[in-house]
A and B are shown apart, each in its own frame.
Chain A
Amino acid sequence: MVVVIANNLPPAVRGRMKLWFVEPRANVFVSGIKDSVAEGVIKYLFESCPANSGLLVMQRINKAPYYKIWGMGDPKHRIAEIDGLQLIFEKLGMD
């Protein structure tokens, strides 16, 4: 399963996304595609989107912790990694 959340996608990419995804809300996409297909689609997304798309992709994977997160451009919260576990920094202390 893949969930994509974006701030702003180019119309062409947004249209193309609907080949695989349903869009229950504007710029929120959900799909049940398998891992092998997901890799290709996510790669396509990252290649086609400009940096200000604010892209957040969540994918189900089949080994612990069973999810993977990608972020691109304008991330409100940085993705943290503690011992290989992806978490979200809610507040950054130093910068």
Chain B
Amino acid sequence: MSEEKNKRLFIKINRNNLPQVKDKYPFIYLERGRLEIDDSSVKWIDSEANLVRLPIAMLNAILLGPGTSITHEAVKVITASNCMICWVGEDSMLFYAVGQSPTSDTRNMRKQMELAINGKKRVEVARRMFSRRFPQENVSQKSLKELMGMEGLRVRRLYESKAKEYGVGWKGRQYTPGKFELGDLTNQILTSSNAALYGILTSAIYSLGYSPHVGFVHSGSPLPFVYDMADLYKEDLCIDLAFSLTYEMGGKYNKHRVVEDFRKRVIQNKLLENIGKDITMALGK
């Protein structure tokens, strides 16, 4: 009896009892409060002392805004549950914490590396990514440089057509690191929704067992594979959102509104459901 009494109920976290990326909730944004562990679960206490338990294994990422503190044990449990923690600054820059994900092995990462270091195969992957964005064009003979030129032109045209569609003034993409407030409203929304998209994608890419550091189109940046994948989704998730919100917000930046509308689009577009399939499509069977 006494032995029975002393036995602690403890569920070990392993790949069998964690949900797949496609079945998770994309992200939640928390600010001004504290994350800690109590009874083996993660609890959030906000600045008004309300207490909420978070089903961490069901979340793809937590974005921690200003004024949050987190305990050592909480980071350990959250990352072991395959949930990414991103610290989000006032300027929407992100800092990541990544745990050793128990759901992934190195098979996918090995495949990604093999494709990335072989020049010919790398371009093939890049072409497959671009064929999604240019379904009418034949990209099979284009070099990486030509493809990137096409993409630059496409995005510039996209900005202009969205500006026209929503009747919003547009003077081009500007982003100065650390000087978030200097950009116009559309640029501010673009910067913060892009940052949130990178956070979600980084988390999903890690969870699927790939590396965000090995890219095919982008290179020389910290998270090239994340930027490669983000380009597939930016049009609707970030660019259209930025112009439609600029129109609706009437000149005043509201980060909660941006986060909320961005999350709605992520769920609507089934981002987490598609990313696994899209990576497989890009890397080839």
Contacts and interface: CB of A to CB of B under 8 A. Distances in A.
Interface of A: 63-66, 80, 82-85, 87-94
A79 B263 CA distance: 20
A93 B53 CA distance: 14
Nearest to B44: A82
Interface string B264-275: 100100101000
A80 B50 contact: yes
Contact of A88 (B30, B52, B58): B52
A83 B23 contact: no
Contact of A93 (B27, B29, B43, B48): B48
A94 B49 contact: yes
A84 B52 contact: no
Contact of B28 (A63, A85, A94): A85
B147 interface: no
Interface in B22-68: 23-30, 43-46, 48-55, 58-59
Q: Which bucket holds chain B's interface residue count?
A: 20 to 34
Chain B interface SS verdict (over half) = mixed
B236 interface: no
A88 B50 contact: no
Nearest to A78: B50
Nearest to B43: A90
Given A64-B25, A89-B52, A84 B264 contact: yes
Nearest to A82: B28
Contacts of B59: 85
Nearest to A84: B263
8 contacts: A63-B270, A64-B272, A83-B259, A84-B260, A84-B267, A87-B55, A89-B50, A94-B50
Contacts of A65: 25, 58
Contacts of B260: 83-84
A64 B25 CA distance: 5
B262 to A, nearest CB: 10
Given A91-B50, A93-B49, A93-B50, A85 B30 contact: no
Contacts of A93: 45-46, 48-51
Contact of B25 (A80, A85, A89, A91): A85
Contacts of B46: 93
**Most B Cβ at <10 Å: residue of A63, A85, A88, A90:** A85
B52 A82 contact: yes
B51 A87 contact: no
A91 B28 contact: no
Nearest 3 interchain pairs by C-beta: A93-B49, A91-B51, A83-B28
A80 B46 CA distance: 12
A80 B263 contact: no
